[in-house]
Amino acid sequence: MGNYVDRFNTTDRILHWVVAISFFLLLLSGLGLFAHTFFNYFSLFGNPQQGIMVHKWAGIVFFIFSILLFLRHAAETCRFDADDRRWIVKVGGYLSRKRQEIPQGKFNAGQKLFGIFSGVATLVMGATGLIIWDPTAYLRELTQFALMLHGLFFTLFMVGMVVHIYLATVGNPGTLEGMLWGRVTKGWARKHASKWYQKVVKG
Amino acid sequence: MKRKAFLIDTTLCTACRSCQVSCKQWNKLDAEATVNRGSYENPPDLTPQLYNQIHFIEQDQNNDMRWLFINRRCMHCADAGCVKVCPSAGALYHTKEGLVAYNQDKCIECHYCVNGCPFDVPRYDAKKKVTKCHACIDRVQNGLTPACVKGCPTGTLQFGDRDRLISDAKAAGKKLYGENDLGGLGVMYVLDDEPGTYRLPKNPAIPASIFFWKDVVKPLGILGFWGAIGVAALHYVTVGPKRIEDTDDDQHSKGGE
Ligand code: SF4
Ligand code: SF4
Ligand code: SF4
């Protein structure tokens, strides 16, 4: 059995990384549309028109895989118990050096919240993205509102993603391995997801 | 350079449409096929080939026809929504005369500008690039008046120093539309009725969602990105990462507590 437990299977990992790659493609190809400061990012794609094309197609890929990823874990992410509520009140213990452990399932409450946010944000980005795909095809007021929402949820997604990446890498050593190779150490599992670990051990 | 502007006295307009034709000639815009819709107004709206259009207001007043005409076009706003939303700097820009011109080579075909414009003015040509009235900037910068003004036989269309046009109109006791809206419009009207009758917004403003998008969300986005990175870095050096301690790997320690 060794020192590891399986956490994410191949399908989980492929879904996650397709979402991650298309997210970064969307980010790089969309920045030029977001503000003048980033206009030069379009040169990564040859010219702005090609950048916009990449943005549109990456958007379709992101939408489909992000929704699939959400649905795959929805049963876990959408269920909160008393421990989850304690976790939220204590912000997962991230605000102090003191060791305070709150038993968590496969995903901690923060991951669940981020999972739900990602699902909602994907729907909003997809719907508004479809409207501004051709900004002259719909009612002006609708398109104007869609442009605003697309920018707003991009901002929220960006901030969420910075936090997600920090916590999943340097903030919690050993977490990234689960998404890279599918396995985490037993120590990690006991520390971060003790209720899940107990279930895995019992089989 | 003093700001230049149009002053359009709609009370003088005879709907001869010389302005439409002169504009097409100077800007080499093609003729377009239109259909009879039972109105003298033709074409019914701005198109990629029509930078200014005579809008006909045809009202039946006790079996008498009331006819109002207005030359519709880009208003050359000082606070221009189209410039605000355009992601490609220099695609839409203010000339030193304060007019709003464009450079199709820089236009990236995103078509955002039509949504930023309070007057629904920009159109897109066959190449999908922005087109609209640019005040014949090529003529103006060579000391000529815009083609439409040159072609107008009645003095409805005037072009010149904005301040002078305003003071002259006021001296003549005329009420102006657009003197102070959106930082002052580059096209001001003398109207014969309420702005609404001419399909002009009473208080033109950049649409609220466009304002929110560009003036609130955009700066917040940039702040939020760097702020989140800053907070993460701060967290790392103050609270520090959640390392897995040796005790965690001790087979006998209980999970949880
Ligand atoms: S369509 Fe062209 S001019 Fe209009 S906002 Fe986009 S880049 Fe700017
Ligand atoms: S009227 Fe519309 S297109 Fe013309 S300057 Fe104002 S916002 Fe731009
Ligand atoms: S040329 Fe002058 S009078 Fe004739 S339609 Fe145009 S604005 Fe009116």
ipTM value, please give it.
0.90
Q: Is residue B35 over pLDDT 70? A: yes
Q: Which of B172, B107, B226, B116 is nearest to A159 (CA)?
A: B226
Q: For B162, left (φ over 0), alpha (ψ -120 to 50), or beta? A: alpha
Higher pLDDT residue, B43 or B249?
Answer: B43
Rg (CA), chain B: 26
Mean pLDDT across the stretch B158-168?
Answer: 97
Size of interface A-B (CB pairs under 8 A): 139
Note the pLDDT of residue B247: 63
Q: Are strands B100-102 and B157-161 parallel, antiparallel or unpaired?
A: unpaired
CA distance B234 to B222: 18
Residue B89 Cα, gap to closest chain A Cα (Å): 7
Q: Is residue B14 over pLDDT 50? A: yes
Binding pocket residue ranges, ligand 1, CB within 6 Å: B 85-86, 88, 91-92, 102, 107-113, 130
Mean pLDDT across the stretch B136-155?
Answer: 97
Note the pLDDT of residue A1: 55
Amino acid at A70: F
Contacts for B90-93: CB closer than 8 Å, 24+ residues apart: B91/B130, B92/B130
Burial A20-41 (b: 16+ CB within 10 A, else e): bebbebbbbbbbbbbeeebbeb
Amino acid at A126: G
- CA atoms within a 13 Å half-sphere pointing along the CA-CB vector of B157: 28
* Interchain proximity A197–B207, CB inside 8 Å: no
Q: Give chain A's largest Cα–Cα span.
A: 61
Residue B111 Cα, gap to closest chain A Cα (Å): 6
* Interchain proximity A147–B253, CB inside 8 Å: no
Q: Is residue B50 over pLDDT 70? A: yes
- Compute the 3-state secondary structure of chain A and give helix, strand, coil in percent, each to the nearest 5: 75, 5, 20
CA distance A124 to B215: 21
Residue B200 · residue B177 · CB < 8 Å = yes
pLDDT in tens, B187-228: 999 999 999 999 999 999 999 999 999 999 999 999 999 999
Residue B198 Cα, gap to closest chain A Cα (Å): 19
List the single best residue of B45, B130, B213 to mutate versus A (max A Cβ within 10 A): B213
Q: Which of A123, A154, A115 is nearest to B221 (CA)?
A: A154
Mean pLDDT across the stretch B123-140?
Answer: 95
Q: What residues have CB less than 8 Å from B159, skipping those under 6 apart?
A: B4, B5, B6, B7, B135, B140, B145, B146, B149
Where residue B255 falls among pLDDT bands split at 50, 70, 90?
A: very low
CA distance B7 to B76: 12
CA of B74 to the centre of ligand 1 (A): 15
Residue A103 sits at the vertex; the CA angle it makes with A100 and A108, to the nearest 5 degrees, is: 95
Q: Is residue B98 over pLDDT 60? A: yes
Residue to probe by mutation, ligand 1, list B85, B104, B112, B133, most atoms within 8 Å of CB: B112
Residues of B in contact with A172 (CB under 8 A): 241-242
Residue A38 · residue A31 · CB < 8 Å = yes
Instruction: Write out chain A's pLDDT in tens, 203 residues.
Output: 579 999 999 999 999 999 999 999 999 999 999 999 999 999 999 999 999 999 999 999 999 999 999 999 999 999 999 999 999 999 999 998 888 779 999 999 999 999 999 999 999 999 999 999 999 999 999 999 999 999 999 999 999 999 999 999 999 999 999 999 999 999 999 999 999 999 998 87
CA distance B150 to B29: 17
Residue of A nearest to B118 (CA): A140
Residue of A nearest to B224 (CA): A159
Q: Is residue B254 over pLDDT 50? A: no
* Residue B108 host element (H or E): none
CA of B146 to the centre of ligand 2 (A): 17
DSSP helix/strand/coil, B224: helix
